[in-house]
Amino acid sequence: MKRILVPTDFSEQAENALKVAIKLAEKHKSEIYLLHSMEMPLHLASADSGTLPESLFFIKLAEKRFGDLRKKKYLEGITINEAIGHNEIYEDIEEACKKNKIDLIVMGSTGASGFKEMFVGSNTEKVVRTSDTPVLVIKNNHPEFNINDFVFATDFSEDGRGALSKAHKFANMVGAKMHLLFVNTPANFKTSLQAQTIMENFVRGMRVENYTLNIYNDTSVEKGILNFTQHINAKLIGMGTHGRKGISHFFNGSISEDMVNHANMPVITFKI
């Protein structure tokens, strides 16, 4: 993990994400790329509109906020590459990832409502759906960011192998044990033997190490992920996404808002 991108609107939630990114960067000697997307209205973004002084004002304001941010004590001695984007945030992020060969995106989210919006049309949701780069969503302030146990929830379908490979690579990088999770629900019930066979066939030949296979029975996939994660006291939930089809396709339906609202921990997504 050589390069980490942190989108920021200079909010408390964005700072929470930046602090986690810095902890990861210090451990893995990574570079930090900080991106602020202005998303200016078209009439301001166009130099031919006669509003250039007004658009320059917003650019100068963003530069000042970058300057204020650099004065924070937790950034002392940290080299940060700064950039200002002028498109929608997910477009700026996609461009920055390609230009700088970003390995990980770390984004902040505003509490329960923020996670709710994350999967219902917010900027974070757009990034998660469109990004080829893994996205780590941070909800709270983390004085320490040590991940020992990492729950990766999957339906163990064949097309999820790519996401598993990326998740396994991330788990190894942060030194975490990965717990692969199959949630058994009444709507899609499997016997223990059936579920175990599906899981074993899924990981066969994938060279995955330091992991466990787990079957958890619950009334819904969302509740099963949360309850299992809490049961083993894990600190990170991972999931695969189907790109522009969205996270909902991964679960053959939708992830309920209750699941993400109550996920009081980081969530990382990997493109399938």
Over residues 27-42, the pLDDT tens digits come to: 999 999 999 987 655 5
Q: Are residues 10 and 132 in the same domain?
A: yes
Count of the separate structural domains present in the chain: 2
Q: Work out the pLDDT band at 52, boundaries 50, 70, 90.
A: low
Q: Measuring CA to CA, how many Å separate 171 from each of 59, 83, 147, 149?
A: 38, 29, 8, 9
- Rounded to 5°, the CA angle 32-35-36 comes to 150
Strands annotated E in the chain: 3-7, 31-37, 80-85, 104-108, 135-138, 149-153, 177-184, 211-217, 236-241, 267-271
Question: Residue length, the chain?
Answer: 272
pTM check: above 0.75? yes
Q: Are residues 40 and 131 in the same domain?
A: yes
Q: Are residues 94 and 211 in the same domain?
A: no
What pLDDT is recorded for position 255? 46
Q: In this structure, which amino acid lies at residue 192? A: S
Kindly tell me if the per-residue pLDDT of 70 is higher than 70: yes
What pLDDT is recorded for position 271? 85
In a domain, 144, yes or no: no
In a domain, 89, yes or no: yes
% the chain with pLDDT above 70: 81
In a domain, 143, yes or no: no
Kindly tell me if the per-residue pLDDT of 55 is higher than 80: no
What is the domain-level CATH number for residue 202? 3.40.50.620
Give 239-252 pLDDT, tens digit per residue: 888 665 544 444 44
Range of the domain at 261: 149-271
Assign 3-state DSSP to the chain and report helix, strand, coil percentages, each to 5.
Answer: 45, 20, 30
